[in-house]
Homo-oligomer: A and B are copies of this chain.
């Protein structure tokens, strides 16, 4: 077992994920007592595909809407699972595009801030909303 590359499959690109998405899903699914077929059916995908996904054999994980469904069934945070899969929640693009200059600028400005700081900004935003349009 020297340096014999454990698995001999050719594994295309597979953008490396830290806590691999498929592995995590399998762990949570089995913990909930779902069979692969049953879970696939509930999610709305084929058992074949789910099997591939859970083995991290896919080039890229499922789309955000399917991950959303998985999250609901597993009682996990959809946003977190979606991020783990390297995707973006489906409602965000529209929000960003609604202010093509300001939204990207804001996101770049908040890049690197802590969750606490982000929460503060979130609260500020909520306040602005309530008060109506100042400026």
Say yes or no: is A115 at the interface (Cβ < 8 Å to chain B). Answer: yes
Residues of B within 8 A of A121 (CB): 106, 109, 121, 124-125, 128
Which of A3, A7, A65, A118 has the largest count of B CB atoms less than 10 A from its CB?
A118
In-complex Cβ contact of A111 among B40, B98, B100, B105 (8 A): B98
Q: Does A14 interact with chain B (Cβ within 8 Å)?
A: no
Q: Interface code A113-131, partner B: CB below 8 Å = 1, 0 otherwise?
A: 1111111111011101100
Residues of B within 8 A of A84 (CB): 100
Nearest B residue to A119, CB-CB: B102
A115 to chain B, nearest CB (A): 5
B105 lies within 8 A of A82 (CB): no
Q: Assess whether A46 is in contact with B105, with CB atoms less than 8 Å apart.
A: no
